[in-house]
Amino acid sequence: MHQVVLEVVMDARSRRRLMVAGVAMLIIGALGVVVPQVLSFTLSLLVGALLIAAGLVSAYLTWYGYRRSPVTWFKPAILLIIGALIAFHPGVGAAALGLVLILYFAFSAFAGIALALSFRPLPGWGWMLFSGLVSLVLAIVFIAGWPFQARWLVGLFVGINLIFDGVSLLMAGLAARSD
């Protein structure tokens, strides 16, 4: 049996970008781990505000275009009501975000593992595999604790996931040789 050896060669600019992105993700992830409830609360407020803004835009369009039909007011009303519920009850928003994050972690795990296996045997592929496996574990743990632990799990798990994504980017940048 023979072994194939491949080397990743990047220019210095590409390596630097990869490592800067990794460090940035590490910092953002660390903030999420240190103050998970703040991150969960902030994400809920952001989602609520975005839904309210979308509802206002949709209401504006309805008012100036289709206001005669009561059915056309359904979408702006739903956006405004759900946005207000999430903005004024961030715990409920965190639980809803928890469902979305379960899907995110599951798909992130699949994508990370698939990417790592496609990079194999290139240097750094093991870090990508490890990051994908961490995402899979986070998805499973989140499913077990949802919705009761969503207030702090959202921020904590997003932070942990970003830390491991940052480490995998940083290690891939360090493993690649520059030309």
pLDDT tens, position by position, 44-66: 899 899 999 999 999 998 888 87
119-164 pLDDT, tens digit each: 787 777 888 898 889 889 988 988 887 777 777 888 887 888 889 8
**178 and 152 Cβ atoms separated by less than 8 Å:** no
Is 62 within the bounds of a domain?
no
Please, what is the Cα angle at 89 between 157 and 103, to 5 degrees?
35
Q: Domain of residue 170: give its range.
A: 9-42+90-178
How many domains is the chain partitioned into structurally?
1
Is 144 within the bounds of a domain?
yes
Which pTM was predicted? 0.61
List the structure tokens of 50.
């975005």
What b/e readout covers 100-138, taking b as 16+ CB neighbours within 10 angstroms?
ebbebbbebbeebbebbeebeebbbbbbbbbbbebbbeb
Coil, helix or strand at residue 177 = strand
Instruction: Classify strands 9-10 and 177-178 as parallel, antiparallel or unpaired.
Output: parallel
Is 85 within the bounds of a domain?
no
Is 75 within the bounds of a domain?
no
